[in-house]
Amino acid sequence: MSVLYKSARPYATGTGTPTAGLNRGPAEGKPPTAVVLLNMGGPSTVSEVNFFLTNLFSDGDLIPLPFQSFIAPWIAKRRTPKIEKQYADIGGGSPILRYTREQGRLMCKLLDELNPTTAPHKPYVAFRYANPLTSQTLSEMKADGVKRAIAFTQYPQYSCSTTGSSLNELYRQASRGEGGKIKWSVIDRWAMHDGLVDAFTNLIVKALSKFPVHRRSKAVILFSAHSLPMSVVNRGDPYVMEVATTVGSVMRRLASVDGFENPYRLVWQSQVGPSAWMGQQTSEAIKGLARLGDEEEKQLAQMSQQSKKELAELASVGYKDVVLVPIAFTSDHIETLYELDLEYVQEGKELGMTIERAESLNTSPIFIRAMADLVTDHLKSTEGGD
């Protein structure tokens, strides 16, 4: 069984040579076409944690609270010591800004080759709760003389609490003239984009390859996404459905790669507070798989000697092999490096499980090419190009 994923789409390697005529440079003095990468952000240093948390709990789109302007700073202050320790444990801060800037740089390098008529393309980062905030980014764009910009959400699956909040903030700041006179368009969701699906598939196959061949097809794939309060889900937010479509697309793609048809489940992480959130929680799913594996072993112990021999291999795997996939994140940050790697993987080890965490998208060449293709298609549809 091959363990290296190869897509049928030539772009998926991200290493192809551009076709003839794509290397013409932009006209001198032309203002850049801005690609603004929108995301939640994260504190780059431990000292920025309180600032980040205060902004986060102050956002009524994400967490509606009574008397929010008074309660948010109080909640942030109470949570700061615990969260500071978590960021210290992953190296002293979130890498999300570094990864987002590098993703943007690599994407725009490809865009200049693929779309010379709209070049030069320049990436900007606009975080909702951490620096650089949207207002800072718009000021930078104004100084650069930007006249055309694409707001490109880095939440592939749309939610009013994440993408909606970032777009609302962008609209508020732009309406005040922060960025000058700019023609805007928006990429607000891309849950089923072929390149995104290819990138996830490639990283899952790499994780599966870490298991012995005879156990590889039996490993359970847990797709873990950031949860939402049920109050948001029940009002019709599309996020849960869109995450599920990404999972379904990835599993169909996996089935086309050497016939991977592993058992899988979509689970949810990062619940905050006592209210009801979308479940099953990732931690509970891991514990549940461990219990199922233990139950299989007990049943096996009660079988005849012949049955034991026939099923020994199955029981040795049980439900104890797991691939953990961060399906709604485009780079590493606290939810992957601390929650998945330090909490859930360790919890699985203590339960006798082998958990391999699929790498995050980060600077995967397949993912970078997917971003560039998505923006290319968007520019053609909005600019009337070929």
- Catalytic positions, please? 193, 373
- Name the burial class of residue 214, with classes exposed (0-12), middle (13-18) and buried (19+) by CB atoms within 10 angstroms of its CB: exposed
For the chain, how far is it from start to end, CA to CA, in angstroms? 41
> How much helix, strand and coil, in percent to the nearest 5, is found in the chain?
50, 15, 35
The encoded tokens of residue 221 equal: 């794939």
Q: Give the rounded distance of the alpha carbon of 12 from its chain centre.
A: 18
Separation in Å, CA 140 to CA 12, 44, 126, 180, 238 = 33, 20, 11, 10, 33
Separation in Å, CA 7 to CA 202, 206, 249 = 9, 14, 14
In which element (H, E) is residue 141 found? helix 134-143
Residue with tokens 């619940």: 271
